[in-house]
Amino acid sequence: MAEIVAGVRTDLPARMAEVSPAVLRRRAEARGPRMTPDAVGAALRGTHGVRLIAEVKRVSPAMGRLAAIERPEALAAEYVAGGAAAISVLTEPRHFGGSLADLRAVRDSVSVPLLRKDFIVDPYQLAESAAAGADLVLLIVAALSGRQLDGLLKEAAEYGLAVLVETHTEQEVATAVAAGARIIGVNARNLTTLQVDRDTFPRLAAGIPADVVTVAESGVRGPADVGSYAGAGADAVLVGSALVIDDRPADAVAAMLAAGRREEAE
């Protein structure tokens, strides 16, 4: 992850020189009202089963090249047709092949909450996110100091952005809770080895307050894994690679949601 964050910091100055934060703020305001953070949280918490955040992702560090995705907006529309509650768009270019252009294209094609998934380390990226139409941004505890996390959470609130705070350990969950995070993700993938431990979610979710939205991340190979996460108490599951490589993404989303509902019914 350190290499990815270093690349993000390297790329930021050129973008900041090209478009100022003030211009980005005006662009965000020009887009009109965005879904409120409370509404985003409500969209990710259902009463009849797990919700699904479906991801637009061209490259996975663990699996390599996944798909070309020439029209990210078309893939996002398929996800929504299958019942996805939100769409996640990878915008990091060096390692994931994404861009803010992808985010803008998806924003113009769907009305569900839109997550900008990137390695956000600077307030400027929050301005970018709001201007591109994101409702939700990702902050990774492992990539930030406690002071940085607090500052970015406050700045996100000023832009009206909801925040998914990603954790990997019990200590990171405690940090997220102490910072006041309202949506906490538990990533089952070890950032160093890239290996997945699906027992990570139930272990860490025990430390998340009941009124906080919990999101299970990584390790979903198909409907059975979604059902397992739902049974462990996840409000939502973020799924990327398994959907991107499926020839029928709308059907794949629907099957995963059905598995989540069945698990809850049992």
Q: CATH number for the domain including 177?
A: 3.20.20.70
- Binned at pLDDT 50, 70 and 90, residue 62 comes out as confident
Q: What is the pLDDT of residue 43?
A: 97
Place of tokens 């954790």: 167
Q: What is the pLDDT of residue 72?
A: 97
Q: Catalytic positions, please?
A: 55, 57, 117, 166, 187, 217-218
- Per-residue pLDDT tens digits for 218-264: 989 999 999 999 999 999 999 999 999 999 999 999 999 999 984 44
Q: Which domain holds residue 62?
A: 2-265
Q: What is the pTM of this model?
A: 0.94
- Binned at pLDDT 50, 70 and 90, residue 110 comes out as very high
Q: Does residue 146 have a pLDDT over 80?
A: yes
H-type helices in 206-248, by residue range? 223-231, 241-244
Work out how many domains the chain is built from and give that number. 1
d(CA 80, CA 54): 8
Strands 236-239 and 51-56: parallel
Rounded to the nearest integer, the mean pLDDT of the chain is 93
Q: How many CB atoms lie within 10 A of CB 248?
A: 12
